[in-house]
Structure 1
Amino acid sequence: MNEFTFNTAKSIRFGSGQLDLLGDITKTLTDDKLLLITDPGMMATGIVDRAINILGQSGFEIVLFNEVEADPPEVKILQAVELATSQKIGCVIGLGGGSSLDVAKLVALLAVGKEKLSDIYGVGNVKGPRLPLILVPTTSGTGSEVTPISIVTTGTNEKMGVVSPIILPDIAVLDPVLTIGLPPHITAATGIDAMVHAIEAYASANPNNNPMSRMLAEKALTLTGGSLLTAVQDGQNLTARSDMLLGSLLAGQAFANSPVAAVHALAYPLGGRFHIPHGLSNALVLPHVLRFNAELKPEPYAELAPFAFAELAQIDPQKRANAFIEKLVELSCDCGLQQNLRQMGIAQEVLPDLADDAMNQSRLLVNNPRALTREDALAIYSSAF
């Protein structure tokens, strides 16, 4: 067996009602002033007010930063860092979707004042230390609460990543009740995102692809494949919501240690240039990248197929990879997601620019099970158009 490294959050708290325990959970880390990081959409749900009240009852002084944007730009991260330093914050809590959690990771690091954002892009460039950090996801998709990754929009449309186990949180708090209010379209997009994480982790060509990640990916696909459509169609179904949140967590642990590849590399330009939500960006390119990969490397997809869709176990293994891809397309359609780039208002003449942008994602492309050139990327975007 090859050597591998596996990192995850130090502590994971999962279950309905965990938000009510947030004050006690935070007390195990600190008594210092807190910075709560979230976004305007979360403010409208009432969850932020609940969290502030729960923390206040435990005696905490709370400073609020609620200006996180989707695909967070550098300027918003630096604004939050300035607030943290000026208020002498001692602990950071991220509450919301993946963008809020990603910002919280970087603020906990940069508020210490020993590193600059411009110096830490890439893999393994973080030195630390960081402030105590708690992450509370309210969507079932990114798995950011257990990944050593934070994605930032730099310049006008390019995304870059900060990757280091130092930015893993001290505690991840997962309460499926917090996902009950997610609209169907967001449930669908984030759910497909979680499935992509599991699929790409399992098939990753990264040298750190490992048996733990593959095991987690299998279980993540069983949970998400069996519950996503129910969660979309019956958003109050707590069993489905719980399965989706746990599946997202497990997929996050999987790809945190066996990194994602070309699906994400081709999805990032869609988010950077057109501000398409990350989960939907993944869904738009997923079948086209998998078809490209499966031409030469069908084995991982054939192996995964029955975990997501039990009925595919009856199909000949030689045909199972393609059947798996088509079932993913069917699931995406049934969930009501857009199916091509035209539906997103993207013009055909920008496809070469997207291909150029995708090739800048070398950190991800090296993990793809099949080597991918710019011409391949353009062909995939054309198929997705």
Structure 2
Amino acid sequence: MTPFTFQSPSNILFEAGASRKIADLVQQYGAERVMLVTDKGVRAAGLTRDAEAAITAAGISLTVFEDVVADPPSHVIETAVGQCRDNKVDLVVSIGGGSALDTAKLVAYLAKTPDRLDDIYGVGLAKGQRLPLILAPTTAGTGSEVTPIAIVTTPTTEKKGVVSPKLIPDWAVLDPELTLGLPANVTAATGIDAMVHAIEAYTSKVKKNPMSDQLARQALTLLAANVRQVCRNGRDIEARSQMLLGSMLAGMAFANSPVAAVHALAYPIGAIFHVPHGLSNALVLPHVLQFNLPAAEALYAELAELVKPGSGATSQADRARVFIDEMVSIGRDCHVPVSLAAVGIGQDDLKKLAEDAMKQTRLLVNNPRPLTYDDAYAIYSAAYDERSNRSVRAVP
């Protein structure tokens, strides 16, 4: 058996209403000054209200940083770090989507160390200590609450990652009640994002391992069985719970068996055009799956029964095709936009997208099939034209 390592959070709390117990967790660390990292939309929706009230009622000083934005720019993170230091914060909590959780990870680390953000981009460069960290997601998508990864948008609109076990939180708090008000379009995009995490973890070329495999399979089973339902009925607490659990399991899987070309091609779409991350993934997913098919057919065939039980396909090639077609069907059934043109990207932009995608070497090395600039351009071209999305066989 190939040797592997596997890392995950020390503690996970999964329960409806779990976010109301955050103050109890804070008190376990003897913290006197806490920073809450979130965004204005989440706070305005009242999702942080109970946690804020409980922390304050416990006599703990609370600083709220609510200026997180999607695809967090480096200057936003640095501003939050400055406030954290100025207020002598000794524990960081985040309630929000992936951008808020990623920001909180870096705040907890950078506020404790002399490291600069520019010095820790890459794998394993953040080696210092961090403040205690509690993360509670409000979407079932990124899995950031259980990963050692934080993604940052640089001043040159490039997405860079900080990857270090130091970013794994002390507590992941999963409260499905926090996801009940998520709009259908965000639910769909984040749900597909979580599915991509499971798929890419299962097919990762470099660090694929048996623990990530099992987590990815269970995640994909839960997500495929519930994603259409949560898009139809966002108040279904059981389906929301299954999605949140699936998202976390997928996060644990790809934290140890990293993602690949789908994310590499999605990052420039988000960084340059500010398309939400989950939607960026969904737009290129069918075409990357088709591109990878010659190298990943056997693995796709193994996943087919998880996303479409009872398909009746017998040959490996047919099962792999069922898998790809079902992923396309999920996107369409959940009303996810089907082309880059539909989100305002022009054909003249494809060259820049392909150039920036090729900078994501940290991710591309994991792809089951080597991908060149010409391949990336062909995938973007297929994703650009809505007509090519009627058949995901457009990419050679």
**Which interval holds the TM-score relative to the shorter structure?**
over 0.9
Letter in 2 for 1:11: N
1:193-251: CA deviation from partner (whole Å, max 9, x where unpaired): 00000000000001x21100000000001100000000010000011000000000000
- 1:175 and 2:175 equivalent? yes
Question: Alpha-carbon deviation of 1:313?
Answer: 5.6
Amino acid at match of 1:375: D
**What is aligned with 1:129?**
129
Provide the residue aligned with 2:41 in structure 1: 41
Say if 1:30 and 1:91, in contact at 8 Å, map to a contact too: no
Q: CA deviation at 1:29?
A: 2.2
Q: TM (normalized to structure 1)?
A: 0.98
SS, match of residue 34 in structure 1: strand
Greater alpha carbon shift after TM alignment, 25-34 vs 60-69: 25-34
CA distance in 2: counterparts of 1:219 and 1:384, whole angstroms = 29
SS at match of 1:295: helix
Q: What one-letter code is carried by the residue in structure 2 that aligns with 1:332? A: G
AA aligned to 2:104 is: A
1:297 offset after TM fit, Å?
Answer: 2.5
Aligned match of 2:393: none
Shift of 1:311: 2.5
1:168-209: CA deviations, max 9, x gaps? 000010000110000000000000000000000000001x21
Note the C-alpha offset of 1:315: 4.0
2:286–2:328 Cα contact (<8 Å) kept: yes
Partners in 2 of 1:311 and 1:350 — Cα distance?
41
Q: Which amino acid aligns with 1:32?
A: E
Matched residue, 2:117: 117
What is the match of residue 184 of structure 1?
Answer: 184
Q: How does 1:44-63 map to 2 (within 5 A)?
A: 44-63=44-63
Distance 1:170 1:80 in 2: 20
Please tell me whether the aligned partners of residues 113 and 128 of structure 2 are also in contact (alpha carbons under 8 angstroms).
no
- C-alpha contact (below 8 Å) 1:180/1:236 kept by paired residues: yes
- The DSSP-based 3-state class of the residue aligned with 2:4 is coil
Match of 1:266 in 2: 265
**Which whole-Å CA distance do the structure 2 matches of 1:315 and 1:10 have between them?**
42
Tell me, in whole angstroms, the C-alpha distance in 1 between the residues paired with 2:31 and 2:358.
46
Report the Cα distance in structure 2 between the residues aligned to 1:133 and 1:357, rounded to whole angstroms.
32
The code of the aligned residue for 1:196 comes to V
Equivalent residue for 1:141?
Answer: 141
Distance, in Å, in 2 between the alignment partners of 1:112 and 1:260 is: 29
Query: Residue by residue, what CA displacement relative to the aligned partner does 1:338-358 show, whole Å, maximum 9, x if unpaired?
Result: 001111111111111110000
Q: State the match for 1:287 in structure 2.
A: 286
* Residue matched to 1:318: 317
Aligned 8 A contact 2:113 2:130 in 1 = no
Equivalent residue number for residue 154 of structure 2: 154
Once residues 313 and 67 of structure 1 are traced to their aligned partners in structure 2, the CA distance between those partners, rounded to angstroms, is: 50
Aligned length in residues: 384
Letter in 1 for 2:334: C
Counterpart in the other structure of 1:104: 104
Structure 1 residue runs of 5 or longer lacking an equivalent are none
Amino acid at match of 2:352: D
Are residue 64 (structure 1) and residue 64 (structure 2) matched? yes
Q: Which residue of 1 aligns with 2:88?
A: 88
| Equivalent residues of 1:302, 1:321 under 8 A apart | yes
Structure 2 partner of 1:19: 19
SS at match of 1:367: coil
Aligned equivalent of 1:341: 340
Distance 2:32 2:187 in 1: 35
Residue in structure 2 matched with residue 254 of structure 1 by the alignment: 253
Equivalent-residue separation in structure 2 for 1:288 and 1:30 (angstroms): 50
How far does residue 318 in structure 1 lie from its aligned partner after superposition? 2.0
Deviations for 1:140-162, whole angstroms, at most 9, x for unmatched residues? Answer: 00000000000000023210000
Counterpart CA distance in 2 for 1:309 and 1:340 is: 24
Matches of 2:341 and 2:214 in 1, distance apart? 37
- The CA distance in 1 between the partners of 2:356 and 2:260, in whole Å, is 15
Which deviations, in whole Å up to 9, do the C-alpha atoms of 1:244-273 show, x marking residues without a partner?
000000000000000000000000010011
Tell me, yes or no, if the aligned pair for 2:313 and 2:322 is still in contact at 8 Å. no
Other structure's SS at 1:94 match: strand
| Identity among equivalent pairs (%) | 53
Classify 1:3/1:235 alpha carbon distance in 2 versus 1 (closer, same or farther; 3 Å): same
Alpha-carbon shift at residue 336 of structure 1 (Å): 0.8
Task: Specify the alignment match of 2:394 in structure 1.
Answer: none
Alignment partner, residue 368 of structure 2: 369
Q: Which amino acid aligns with 1:30?
A: G
Q: State whether residues 156 and 272 of structure 1, in contact with CA within 8 Å, keep that contact through their aligned partners in structure 2.
A: no
CA-based RMSD: 0.9
Partners of 1:279 and 1:270 lie apart in 2 by 11
- Aligned mates of 2:266, 2:353 — CA distance in 1: 9
Question: Structure 1 313/111 Cα, relative in aligned 2: closer, same or farther at 3 Å?
Answer: farther
Deviations 1:130-149 (A, max 9, x none): 00000010100000000000
Q: Counterparts of 1:28 and 1:304 in 2: how far apart (Å)?
A: 41
Residue 95 of structure 1 aligns to a residue whose secondary structure is strand
